[in-house]
Amino acid sequence: MAEMTRKGLWRGVIREFGEFLPEIKDEAITTLGEGNTPLIEASNLSDKVGEIRLLLKYDGLNPTGSFKDRGMTMAVSKAKEDGSEAVICASTGNTSASAAAYAAKAGMKAYVLVPEGAIALGKLSQAMIHGAMVLQVAGSFDDALDIVKEIAKDHPVTMVNSLNPYRLEGQKSAAFEVCEELGHAPTYHFLPVGNAGNITAYWNGYKQYKDSELISNLPKMMGFQAAGAAPIVLGEVVKKPETVATAIRIGNPASWQAAEMARDESGGLIDMVTDEEILDAYRLLAVREGVFCEPASAASVAGVIKMKDKGVLNNGDTVVCTLTGHGLKDPDNAIKNAESPIKVTADINDIIKVMGF
Ligand SMILES: *Cc1c(COP(=O)(O)O)cnc(C)c1O
């Protein structure tokens, strides 16, 4: 007789990983079923990365299309438990999309500050449709974050940027999932670095699983900034960060020191990749692997290619790349970086000719 093998609904990261996270009262838990994203074998890139085992943690498949949901479920649930009625964040886009959605689910108000003209279209549309008050600041992300910190100090709103410690707690869940999926930690974990919260959260998650004796090894943490927005690599604040990868266009990362600790404790590194390398990896993932991520996410794979070329990676290494956000977030860049559609008449002979048959 056939048997059902499903274990029931995925309950979101707070309920699935509760024993490893700060406690939240069940009635305050606000979840959209985040987490449980696929770890995809990248099997078509061996000419670029050699005989390593490359896996893509496709976190663009979270409910609002980025890993930010893993932390937002914790931050918004905690705010609700504390009786807060509103949340506020500065954002390059994905935090605002996530905050807006989780606030909507919790019945709370969301205020989001975004740098004017520097946020991808999909992300802006999300914050708007979920009913957040969207404030376009004539300034950078870093300016907007400074203002948000001031407002949250003495007004009845909870800040849900990654300076809110509950965000990073929830984001640890991605490392837990990688361990559960592989049965061990990878040799290397590559990811893009913007505010540097995610690399910090992954490292904390891996360490926690090791302390709990669920895994015996720890990965080397490999963070990649965009060359035009690489304060950690350069060792100084970048006043005017510039990159096509808007999600990591950050000149003064909030978790700078914690990320350096993750790098040093793990024996990893934080390096940079150019926009050209980012876009090459972005197209490669879409064309060869069938995986559509946003440009910032591709910095991780660009980093793997760069490290392979430098001889850092060895055959047989298990390498996980986090693809942080979905490609549909940023349709403008997809269209700009692909072949244009071909105009044809509604005539079969014309179309067959163009197809090359
Ligand atoms: C937020 C974000 C990042 C950067 O993560 P940090 O934790 O700020 O380093 C990278 N990619 C995408 C798609 C993001 O939304």
- Residues ≥6 apart with Cβ < 8 Å to 276: none
Which stretches does DSSP call E strand in the chain? 39-41, 53-58, 86-90, 109-115, 133-137, 158-159, 188-192, 220-226, 269-273, 318-323
Of the candidates 182, 193, 187, 272, which has an alpha carbon nearest to the alpha carbon of residue 228? 272
List pLDDT tens digits, range 283-307.
Answer: 999 999 999 999 999 999 999 999 9
Determine the pLDDT at residue 348: 97
Q: Looking at the predicted structure, is the pLDDT value of residue 337 above 80?
A: yes
Instruction: Tell how far the Cα of 357 is from the centroid of ligand 1, in angstroms.
Output: 44
**What is the DSSP-derived secondary structure letter of residue 18?**
G
Write out residues with Cβ below 6 Å of ligand 1. Answer: 66, 68, 94, 162, 192-198, 247-248, 294, 296-297, 324-325
Determine the pLDDT at residue 356: 95
Over residues 91-112, the mean pLDDT reads 97
Instruction: Tell how far the Cα of 70 is from the centroid of ligand 1, in angstroms.
Output: 12
Contact call for residues 268 and 317 (beta carbons, < 8 A) = no
Q: Looking at the predicted structure, is the pLDDT value of residue 7 above 80?
A: no
Instruction: Provide the mean pLDDT of the chain.
Output: 96
Determine the pLDDT at residue 4: 79
User: Which atom belonging to ligand 1 lies closest to the Cα atom of 193?
Assistant: 9
Of the candidates 186, 126, 91, 160, which has an alpha carbon nearest to the alpha carbon of residue 326? 126
For a pocket test of ligand 1, which of 59, 61, 66 has the largest count of ligand atoms closer than 8 A to its C-beta? 66
Instruction: Tell how far the Cα of 302 is from the centroid of ligand 1, in angstroms.
Output: 15
Contact call for residues 313 and 304 (beta carbons, < 8 A) = yes
Cα-Cα-Cα-Cα dihedral sign, residues 175, 178, 179, 184: negative
Percent of all residues in the chain with a pLDDT value above 90, rounded to a whole number: 95
- Residues ≥6 apart with Cβ < 8 Å to 53: 41, 316, 317, 318, 319
The structure's pTM equals 0.96
Contact call for residues 295 and 282 (beta carbons, < 8 A) = yes
CA-closest residue to ligand 1 atom 14: 247
Over residues 55-69, the mean pLDDT reads 98
Determine the Cα–Cα distance for residues 19 and 301; give it in Å rounded to an integer. Answer: 32
